Structure 1
Amino acid sequence: MHNIASIEIEQDIIRANDKLAYENRNILDEKGVFAVDLVGAVGSGKTSLLETLIDEMDEDIAVIAGDILSKFDAKRIEDKNVPVKGLNTGKECHLDAHLVEHALPDVPLDDVSILFIENVGNLICPADFNLGAHVRTVIISVTEGDDTAEKHPMIFKTADMAIVNKVDLAEAVGADADKMVKDIKTINPDIPVVKCSLKTGEGVQEIIDLYREFKNNKS
């Protein structure tokens, strides 16, 4: 009986979250803002990717930066002179649509074309929680091990694009970046996957082009 009750409660939470996510999407669409849910483990390079995109993309960008306790990532984005709203989740290991709903009024949506929502560093918990973004990107790095995608299939099943980061370090850490790409495509055959090194610039333009394609298709 306890297991059945737990499942029913979980389903209710997800349904309630999906309703709020739908409302978030409507707000973003009304403002003409394209939103990206950026998911990755701690150290995968989420914030570094955002810093690079802010420098390289000719777009008006804003960021919602999720973290469990600190606002370190938000400060890094703030130093780039773009609007950023830091969200602390406390004990929660993911953002949800309710948290994003409360953050949106603090983002100058009238002056923004792309909103990046940097999720909490985790590859498990965010999978079930739609935030209302138009695209979910999952970023993993070779330093996490080349079995990372195999160990976290659900997040890739819910993703629209994936990035394998730090490929310049693959040989040094004994990882096979091509295997990681293959594993992701096995889990989700339709997903575009980019091999990337933010240090060398490899893959950055391809990521930008994909976001522009997604954004244009939304319009």
Structure 2
Amino acid sequence: MKVTLRTDVLTNNNKAAEFNRELFVDTNTFVINMMSSPGAGKTTLLEETVRALSGRYRIAVIEGDLATERDADRIRAMGAKAVQINTHGGCHLDARMVAAALAELDLDEIDILFIENVGNLVCPSGYDLGQHKKIAVLSVPEGNDKIPKYPTMFMRTELVLVNKIDLLPYLNFDVEQAKIDLEGINPESTLIPISATTKEGFDNWLTWIEGVMGYDCSQKNIG
């Protein structure tokens, strides 16, 4: 007898994502899901982003890692709220994990919430967390082959940050080729070269954040 399974394996995740999304809308909280391979520099980028925007917006971060609270501690040291999710071997965050973490945050007191996903260029892209925007961070040391080799990730992101461009003089990475590769996979996406170390390109990243926020954060009582 042939059995056909019609239930979407992501049904429970998608229900939780809708719950999260409604919560974000109700609390007027803008949410960015940040994905990359391990070591691309997501946490350093977030540290510098918190430093740059904390005077204008109230920021919190949900950190996803297999183990430890090291990244969350780094964000807390910047003065932002941070909740750590340890997946204990899982290669991505899902919407139910995020929903549980949200119980530790007062979204009425948060304007921008960053979700730093587990370092992986495969699994995280397939899971809706309820975010407004998905972005990918690609670092110069990873080389030019990542966009063509992991197309699913880059097909599903609205922005690609090419980080560590301060290393361009020392490594064989072609930013223009990365733009061409991204255009071929996802012409609606944007690519911004950036360095969290030297701050080159950082203004373009901050401008992008404020440009895609679909509401006026001044509706909240920003101190």
What is the aligned counterpart of 2:41 among 31, 45, 56?
Answer: 45
Q: How many residues align?
A: 215
The 1:45–1:172 alpha-carbon spacing in structure 2 relative to 1, beyond 3 Å, is same
Distance 1:188 1:31 in 2: 31
Percent sequence identity over aligned pairs: 35
Q: Does structure 2 retain, via aligned residues, the 8 Å contact 1:148–1:180? A: no
In structure 1, stretches of 5+ residues that fail to align are none
What is the aligned counterpart of 2:10 among 7, 10, 14?
Answer: 14
- Give the CA deviation at 1:177: 1.9
What letter matches 1:171 in structure 2? P
| Matched residue, 2:79 | 81
Distance 2:216 2:41 in 1: 26
Distance 2:197 2:82 in 1: 24
Deviation by residue 1:107-145 (Cα, 9 ceiling, x = unmatched): 121111000000000110111100000000100101011
Q: Does structure 2 retain, via aligned residues, the 8 Å contact 1:35–1:114? A: yes
| Matched residue, 2:221 | none
Secondary structure of 2:103's aligned partner = helix
- Give the CA deviation at 1:166: 0.9
| Matched residue, 1:147 | 145
- Give the CA deviation at 1:210: 0.9
What letter matches 1:75 in structure 2? D
Q: After the TM superposition, which residues 120-131 of structure 1 pair with which residues of structure 2 at under 5 Å, given as runs?
A: 120-131=118-129
- Give the CA deviation at 1:218: 8.6
Q: After the TM superposition, which residues 163-182 of structure 1 pair with which residues of structure 2 at under 5 Å, given as runs?
A: 163-182=161-180
| Matched residue, 2:195 | 197
Distance 1:207 1:13 in 2: 35
Distance 1:110 1:185 in 2: 37
| Matched residue, 1:156 | 154
Secondary structure of 1:36's aligned partner = strand
Distance 1:169 1:140 in 2: 13
- 1:108 paired with 2:120, answer no
Q: Does structure 1 retain, via aligned residues, the 8 Å contact 2:134–2:158? A: yes
Q: Does structure 2 retain, via aligned residues, the 8 Å contact 1:123–1:155? A: yes
Distance 2:215 2:146 in 1: 30
Q: Does structure 1 retain, via aligned residues, the 8 Å contact 2:29–2:112? A: yes
Q: After the TM superposition, which residues 57-76 of structure 1 pair with which residues of structure 2 at under 5 Å, given as runs?
A: 57=53, 58-76=56-74
| Matched residue, 2:30 | 34
- What RMSD in Å do the two structures reach over aligned CA positions? 1.9
Q: TM-score under structure 2 normalisation?
A: 0.91
Q: Does structure 2 retain, via aligned residues, the 8 Å contact 1:63–1:85? A: yes
Between Structure 1 and Structure 2, the one with more helix by share is 1
Secondary structure of 1:156's aligned partner = helix
Q: Does structure 1 retain, via aligned residues, the 8 Å contact 2:28–2:215? A: no
**Greater Cα offset, 11-20 or 64-73:** 11-20
Distance 2:57 2:203 in 1: 14
Distance 2:72 2:86 in 1: 10
In structure 2, stretches of 5+ residues that fail to align are 218-223
- 1:186 paired with 2:184, answer yes
